[in-house]
Structure 1
């Protein structure tokens, strides 16, 4: 049987048996302490830090009254369309004329004040009672202003309350260049919108397709935070703001803060 030279040397020195045994080199202890410090920091951060839980939803810049369709109360042949898109109309103003089956000329008037968004009627078109003559964005409600109407899925809107901060990505102002438009939730509809109710708010079934995705959303009204120093008239997350004022009927995507929670709660699914 052969033995290594070092082993034989140790057998000849029994007096070293009471020497302290080094279980780990100093470098190893440093690594252990670093790992423990990192773990302690991670645990402390998970208990103290707060993460924002948000919901994203589509919307549109408009006025609190939204848009409404002006429908014909008569049946007949369209004789004349008196308004065009982007024109302002007053309540009671004539917007179209048609000739009914008896040959009498009938005048269709707008029941409210606002701006014409679309006017699909054309001269010579046969019109039935209930046919849409024009879509008008209403501006006749008290405290009229520019707001964002956001359509949040009903299952995500339960935690929404007035006062929640909102960041809006505006389609005509790229966030990479101008940041996000700032706002706050001012009201949350108590019940989900039906498809018909959504169409009434946004101005028709075609427009409602952009906001109805299989389930009825709840309407959330967001007030924009004013900023007199900004050319747009409102506050943005970036110091560089759009050089022009915002227009109604501009599409937006809203990110609404629902609540804040600790990372530990998020991991545990609470």
Structure 2
């Protein structure tokens, strides 16, 4: 009977049709607005932001001609070695003397100018025709300059085009102190380097092993360094503090080549 009495009392009360109804508390609306703002910002960032897609590869600072081998045209016993590593040689300069089986002393000369990277012969060594007498970094080609030769895996070089910006981490200039060396792609070899070709460019079989990634033959990418007359190194860097000395050849580098830029939205779509 008590419940029936309460029900009758409520039925006698007039309906409060003009009373305001609270759908959500103010704190709830604030949370909704915050979520909407965050979602709008995320959508705007996904559409307008630009992400840099890069490919990383090892390389070396050298000259456009790379390295070449001076080979002995004679068979016989090595008498004297006339050049040493880091020494400059000119075209036609003797690099070694070989005594042939007839007792005649033959002179092995360098057919090109450059800097000796290594001298492969030693006195008393018996050599045959075609043996490497010295490896020379060539500096006799037209337009000689310091460049970066980068060895990019063939499967990642398909989208490379000349003109793309490059950042180089130089082994003799810590990036934490001096930043990154700037450059631009000037050429991409159309075919992967053979084992012999890689060894010829890198300066020997041992050096070539350090430029192979995943066991596949790389493609050679030539990077021109951006000059900066105001820098002690002679080139432009990503920071104001640059190395106090000029860069030298045969310095190993790690290159980051920019392939393209895309928005996060395109990345999600897999474009």
Say yes or no: does 1:32 pair with 2:32: yes
The 3-state SS of whatever aligns with 2:69 is strand
Name 1:229's counterpart in structure 2.
230
Offset of 1:265 from its aligned partner? 1.2
Name 1:252's counterpart in structure 2.
253
Offset of 1:72 from its aligned partner? 1.2
Q: Normalising by structure 1, what TM-score?
A: 0.94
8 Å CA contact 1:66–1:138 kept in 2: the answer is yes
Offset of 1:103 from its aligned partner? 1.0
Name 1:89's counterpart in structure 2.
89
8 Å CA contact 1:178–1:240 kept in 2: the answer is yes
Name 2:135's counterpart in structure 1.
135
Q: Distance in 1 between matches of 2:121 and 2:96?
A: 9
Q: Distance in 2 between matches of 1:215 and 1:264?
A: 33
Offset of 1:67 from its aligned partner? 0.6
* Shift in alpha-carbon separation, 1:23–1:205, aligned structure 2, 3 A: same
The 3-state SS of whatever aligns with 1:24 is coil
Deviations 1:88-147 (A, max 9, x none): 111111100011111111110001000001112110011122221111000000010000
The 3-state SS of whatever aligns with 1:33 is helix
Name 2:269's counterpart in structure 1.
268
Offset of 1:202 from its aligned partner? 1.2
Q: Distance in 2 between matches of 1:187 and 1:135?
A: 24
What number of residue pairs does the alignment pair up?
267
Q: Distance in 1 between matches of 2:117 and 2:177?
A: 29
Name 2:55's counterpart in structure 1.
55
Structure 1 runs, 4 residues or longer, greater than 3 Å off: 9-18
Offset of 1:21 from its aligned partner? 2.6
Structure 2, gaps ≥5 residues long: none
* Shift in alpha-carbon separation, 1:148–1:25, aligned structure 2, 3 A: same
Name 2:191's counterpart in structure 1.
191
Q: Distance in 1 between matches of 2:149 and 2:79?
A: 36
The 3-state SS of whatever aligns with 1:38 is helix
Q: Normalising by structure 2, what TM-score?
A: 0.93
Counterparts in 2 of 1:207-218, with a 5 A limit? 207-213=207-213, 214-218=215-219
Say what the alpha-carbon RMSD is for the aligned residues: 2.0
* Residues 211-220 or 254-263, more deviating: 211-220
Offset of 1:11 from its aligned partner? 8.4
Offset of 1:15 from its aligned partner? 3.8
